[in-house]
Structure formats: C-alpha cells, structure tokens
Amino acid sequence: MNQLLPHLQLLDDRQETMLQQVIQLCDINSGTRNLAGLEQVALQLTDLFGSLGGQLRLVDSVPENLLTNRGEQLDSPLGQSIHIVKRPEAKHKVLLCIHMDTVYQQDSLFQKCVMREDGTLNGPGVADAKGGIVVMLHALQALEASPLAEHIGWEVLLNPDEEIGSPGSRPLIDSIAKGCDFGLLFEPALGDNQLVSWRKGSGNFSLMVRGRSAHAGRAFAEGRNALVAAAKVAQAVSDLNTDPEVTFNVARIDGGSPMNVVPDLAIVRANVRVRTTDEQVAVEGQLKSVAETFSELDGIEVSLHGGFRSPPKPITPEMESVMQRIEKCGSALEMDVKWQGTGGASDGNKFAAAGLPNIDSMGPCGGRIHSDEEFLIVESLVPRAKLSALVLLDFAKQVAGL
C-alpha cells in the first residue's frame, strides 16, 4: 500500500484549484427543475472531465411522471446526464457517480458562494454535491497520471435529478451497475472521517382523495367533502408510526375549493422511510389498505400513487469488502475511517438495488445541507480526493496482480 502513496503527491497543492472549481460550479444555479442551469453546469463539466480522455456522451432523461394538484398525471422533463467511459474493454471497472442538481431552485435567495473566516465555504451545493464532483475529478486525475491506471476501466455518471430521487436517470443507473465491480459515490461525508454504511429506503406516496362537489348553500348534503376525508386519511397514515425506525411523514395536503363549494379533490403527500425490503413490502401493503378503507366511505374514492424510488441499502458481504478496502486505504493515509448508518437515501441505494456494492459518502466534509447555511470544509477537499484516488490505485494494483 505504501508504495502507492507517491502517486498521490500531485494532489498535495490542489486545494486552491479545487476551491475555485467548486465556487465556479456553485455560482451557477442547477436546481433540479432549472434545465437551462443544468445545461450550463454540464457544459463546464464536459470541459473539466474532458481532459481525462474517456468517451463522453450526454444522455437524455426519461420524463418524471407527476400527479399534479389537480389530480392529473403529467410528464415533466428533466435534464441530461453526463456519462463517461474510460477503457471500456477493461475486464474490471469502477463506477464513480454524483449528481449535478441541487435542492435550490431558480427563485431561491441562496445563489452565491461566500468564503467564511473559519475556512468554510458557504454556498448552494458546496457539499451536496458539487464539492463531491471536484473531489471525484481530482481522484481520477491522480489515477490517470499513474501507470497503474491501464489495468482498470471506469465509468462516470453525473446525473441531473438525484434530489428528486433520480427518476429520469434510473435506467442509466441500472445499466451502468451491471458492468462495474464496485461504486464510489461522492455525497458529503457525515463528519470527520465518518462515512455512511447502510441507508434507509425512501418512498414518496400520494393518496388522491376524490369526493363530490356541490354548492355549499343550496345543495350541501349532496356534496362529499374530499378535503375532510383527506384529513382523516392523513391521520390514518400518521397513525402507522408505531416503529420509530419506520417513519411516515405526512408532508402536505394539496386541494380545497372556493368557500362556497364542497371540495371534490384533495391529495395527501407522504414520505416513508424503511430499513429493509420486508419493511418496504409491509409499508406498501399498509398504505394500500388505508386507501381501500377510506374508499368504503359514501361517495369517497382514494387511490394510491408513487412508490420507493430508493430501496433500502443494507450492509451486504459485497459491500463489506468495499468498506474494508476503504478502511485499509484510510489507514495508509492516517485517516481512522468510521462507519455510520443514516435515514437519508442517495443514488447509492439504487446502485445497490441494481446489484452494485458501493460506498456513497466519498465527497468532502461539510454540513447544514439543504439549507442556506450549507457549508464545505475546504481543508477536506484534498484528503478526500486522496482517499478515493488511493482506493482506485489499490484496486488497479490488485487487478494487475502486483
């Protein structure tokens, strides 16, 4: 392992370059629905990653199927993914993936990076996950600068829709998963040397409640109030919270009508988190039975939409072996890697479900993600790039039989 460390030296003085690249990427808004912004970020990344010399292509997303507040199914367009393949003929390949989109939409007040005196960078997507994109880039540069690189291939996926559960890039995720040995994803690390092991599964569900509208004064009795029924459905869903590890978060009820009309439509939106596939199946059954129970009310019909975009990601033996490789590389760099599970889902869940063991918190350290306090610990950029680079070099060395 120690003979690999000289290959990392070129990363030693990269901090300032990496910081400037993060700022450049974060100063362009790329909220998931901002397709023009995503295109601009993709253009910059095509440039940055082009120097690695793989085959780069832009891949269209399948549109996202949405249930609108008016109860209609709608196909909403999503941005393009960048997919790069280097040495496609290699027998052994590593997947490297992270998303280009952020949770901050075009109308958000949080748009620019600010350097803080404590050495952190505050900005939209600095940790989640544009800092991770830059860490990935430099790790690959270190690999490609080494003669060991020729022993392995790699595929990069930079997708535009992770923050909404990657509905548009899912087919690409499933196809790439089949051709690689393991995956590294560059979501932010949890804390100092704390990486994510298992992740819960996450599902988004909509229970659409239909009633019957009527004049609130002239024909009140003829109406069947969908909003009131939806409130009961929301309570019933929330009552499913009996295990603190299996959670039902009723996030929103869309619907209602003018004051003089009995409302005929309301939609209950809820997010559910589970640890295992068994729990996932059970939860789907529970929600189905809530819909059925309330459909028995006079004049009310409830239909269930949505599902688990991110299945649970448990620790499997295959994943344990990737964890061990990362621990080994960590200790060569005097990083004492620690593991922690989390309720948050990522594309790591989808790759795992498609059969690819992966570690998905190889990005830099930071915090307060999904808020305007999001920050990146600038000093973590180089060490994180070294860790991923060493994992790649170690794998290449093993494949080469050295």
Q: Provide the binding-site residues for Zn ion, judged by CB under 5 A.
A: 128-129, 187
Nearer of residues 155 and 187 to Zn ion, judged by Cβ: 187
Strand-pair partners of 43: none
- Asked if residue 310 lies in contact with residue 202, where contact means CB atoms within 8 angstroms, the answer is yes
Question: In the bound complex, what is the minimum distance in angstroms from residue 15's beta carbon to Zn ion?
Answer: 22
* Tokens matching residue 243: 């295990």
Phi then psi for residue 379, to 5 deg, are -65, -10
Peptide bond preceding 353 in cis form (omega within 30 of 0): no
Give me the amino acid identity at 27.
Answer: D
Pairing mode of beta strands 358-359, 182-185: parallel
* Integer Rg of the chain from CA: 23
C-beta of 187 vs 374, nearer to Zn ion:
187
Min dist. Cβ of residue 156 to Zn ion (A): 16
- 255 within 8 A of 226, measured Cβ to Cβ: yes
Min CB(1)–Zn ion separation in Å: 30
User: With contact defined as beta carbons under 8 Å apart, do 185 and 329 qualify?
Assistant: no
- Closest approach of Cβ 68 to Zn ion, in Å? 26
- As measured in angstroms, the least distance from the Cβ of 132 to Zn ion is 8
- Ramachandran angles phi, psi of 159, nearest 5°: -105, 160
Name the residue nearer to Zn ion (CB basis): 181 or 187.
187
Q: How far is the CB of 346 from Zn ion (least distance, A)?
A: 6
What is the CA 306 to chain-centroid distance, rounded? 17
Determine the Cα–Cα distance for residues 183 and 8; give it in Å rounded to an integer: 20
Min. distance of Cβ 236 from Zn ion in angstroms? Answer: 32
CB of 129 to Zn ion, least distance (A): 4
Q: How far apart are CA 169 and CA 166, in angstroms?
A: 5
Is the CB of 203 or the CB of 255 nearer to Zn ion?
Answer: 203
- Dist CA 47 CA 52 (whole Å): 10
The residue assigned the tokens 């990601």 is 313
> For Zn ion, which is the closer residue by CB, 188 or 357?
188
| Nearest residue to Zn ion on Cβ basis | 128
Which of residues 193 and 346 has its CB atom nearest to Zn ion in the complex? Answer: 346
Burial class (CB in 10 A: 0-12, 13-18, 19+), 55: exposed
Minimum CB separation from Zn ion for residue 168, in Å? 16
> Which contacts of 286-290 are long-range, i.e. CB under 8 A and separated by 24 or more positions?
286/240, 287/205, 287/207, 287/237, 287/240, 290/207, 290/233, 290/236, 290/237, 290/240
